[in-house]
Structure formats: structure tokens, C-alpha cells
Amino acid sequence: MGDKVTDITFKGFDVIGIKVGDQAQSEAFRIRGQADFVHMAAHDNEAIGFYYTGNGTGTVLNSDAYNNIGPTPLSAGNIDGFGAHGGDVSFINSRAWNNSDDGFDSISSKGTVIYDHCWSFNHRGNQDGVGDKNGFKVGGYAYRTSGFPDTLPVHTVKYSLAVNNGANGFYANHQPGQSATWTNNTAYNNSRANFDMLERVSLTDITNIPGYREVLHNNIAFTGRAIVNDNNLPENVTNNSWTINGGLEITADDFVSLDTTQLSAPRKSDGTLPDVSFMLPVSSSPLSQYNLGYLAD
């Protein structure tokens, strides 16, 4: 969809079977104008599911992107489930799983991106293990030192879930400033870290540093490293499973279920997410008492 295409809504169908050939990437949907998606799915492609670029804006609601795999070394590291690299974009109640690169990616975004009640799981690369494999790659401008938006966007990640990803669950991705406010998210068994707050010094200095500008409240991390590259102010990192009373001692008994197969269950007839008990804290757990995680009220 070109720059001048606006006020378009796609609703209620699947896109499958797109090939990449010898290109770096293909896309099921490429948006440079304005488009919204409701109860959509892009799956079993060699292509990115939903790709906002240029000045592209819109909302993706109740939609899925899964089994999108770049089969070649060139394409594998580009095939995300959802990409927000343009203007303001919101992802709501959407899921990404088993895509060869990242589940959700907003590198180089000029606009503010909101991730609200989104799930990202089982990103492990292509058949050769090639791909970045993050659940949520939020922000960042790689190693550029020019061409930034006038104001760096600060994104929002809330009530979202990252599980069994081959790199990080939630990743600040070298942002040269605050990447996001991270609130009531749950991360489980992500290979490198559940939360990686890596930033870089500034727009003109590409040196990587532990993040000191991030804000994290009411999050859960279980199994694997809770958080890395964290030099944030204590008052900006509160009421998390790893900060309460020096870190809560969490076991599997704190949760109703750790059955990850629930996460790919069919959506309800109205397109909303399935009801799950995965990582729902039991009532006696301090996780419930402190109202932590993606299923909190």
C-alpha cells in the first residue's frame, strides 16, 4: 500500500504461501500509508506478516503471524511476524510465533509503537537456526549516527508475553535513549535473557551500554536470566518479580499452568485471544498479591 493510500481496513482472512526467492525479504502486507487489520492471519509464508514502513501508520487488532520462515541466510534474519518501522502503530491482542527472525520488531521507527496484550513465542530461527530470535525487539536504530526523527519515540509494552524465544524476550535493542515503558509483562524461558535493556550512549555515540533510561514496573521473569544490561534508576524499576524484597523465589508451583501449547489455541469466534491459564499466578502466590504479569487485572 503506497504513501497516499489511507483509511483501509482488512478484516477476517488469512494470507499464506508467499515466496521470497533470492530477495532479502518479502511481505504479506507492506504499508506505507494508513491501514488497519482486524482478525487477520499471515502464516506459512517466506515473508514478513505485517510490515509498516516509510510513514506507514495503523492498528493491528486480534491478528496472528506465525510460521513465516526465511529459508535462506539472506532472508532468515528479516522475516519477522510484525514490523513497525514507520509512523505510529498499535499492536493489540496480537500473536507471533515461529517466525525466523523476531516476533515483533520496531527498529528504526519514526513513530510511537504500542504493544498491548500481545504474545510472542517460539522464535528459534529458520531450519539452520539463522535469525535474531527475539520476542519483542523494541526501538533501536542500529549503528546509524544520522537520519533520526526530530523526537525519539518512547514505545509502550504492556500486558504482553514472551516465551521460549532463542534470544531475548523483551529487548531495548541499542536504543540511543529510552526505548520503552515496560509494564505488566511476563517473560519465560528466553534463551539469552527475559529482559535485555541494552541501550547505546547517544545519537552520535554508538557505544553499547547497560540501559539507564528504561522504566519497568509489575513484570514477571521466570526461568533463565531475569534481566541483563540493567543500570536503570531503582525508582524506575519497581514491583517486578526480581526486585520485590530482593527478588521473589518463584517456582512452577506459583502458576496454574506452564503448558505453552495453550498459547497457539484457536481464537474465539469474535477474534479475541483464547482464555488461557499459562503463567497465571495461583491465588496464594506473591505474584498474584502484587498484581504482576500479563494476566493481571
Encode the chain (297 residues) as per-residue pLDDT tens digits: 778 789 999 999 999 999 999 888 999 999 999 999 999 999 999 999 999 999 999 999 999 999 999 999 999 999 999 999 999 999 999 999 999 999 999 999 999 999 999 999 999 999 999 999 999 999 999 999 999 999 999 999 999 999 999 999 999 999 999 999 999 999 999 999 999 999 999 999 999 999 999 999 999 999 999 999 999 999 999 999 999 999 999 999 999 999 999 999 999 999 999 999 999 999 999 999 999 999 998
- Joined together, the cell numbers standing for residue 136 give 519483542
In order, the DSSP letters of 212-256 are SS-EEES-EEESS-SEESB---GGGEES-TTTGGGS----GGGBS
pLDDT of residue 22: 86
The reply to whether 297 falls in a domain is no
The reply to whether 279 falls in a domain is yes
Cα 134 to Cα 131: distance, rounded to the nearest angstrom: 9
CATH code of the domain containing 207: 2.160.20.10
The reply to whether 1 falls in a domain is no
Split into its structural domains, the chain has a count of 1
pLDDT of residue 203: 97
pLDDT of residue 189: 99
Tell me which residue of 117, 1, 122, 128 sits closest to 71, measured CA to CA: 128
In angstroms, the Cα distances linking 195 to 65, 72, 201, 215, 229 are 22, 29, 19, 12, 9
pTM check: above 0.95: yes
Give the number of other Cβ atoms within 10 Å of residue 291's Cβ. Answer: 12
The reply to whether 18 falls in a domain is yes
In angstroms, the Cα distances linking 64 to 100, 104, 199, 287 are 15, 11, 29, 28
The reply to whether 296 falls in a domain is no
Tell me which residue of 184, 38, 65 sits closest to 123, measured CA to CA: 65
38 neighbors 62 (Cβ within 8 angstroms)? yes
The reply to whether 295 falls in a domain is no
What phi and psi, each to the nearest 5 degrees, are found at residue 292?
-100, 155
Q: State which residues form the domain around 120.
A: 8-289
The reply to whether 3 falls in a domain is no
The reply to whether 240 falls in a domain is yes
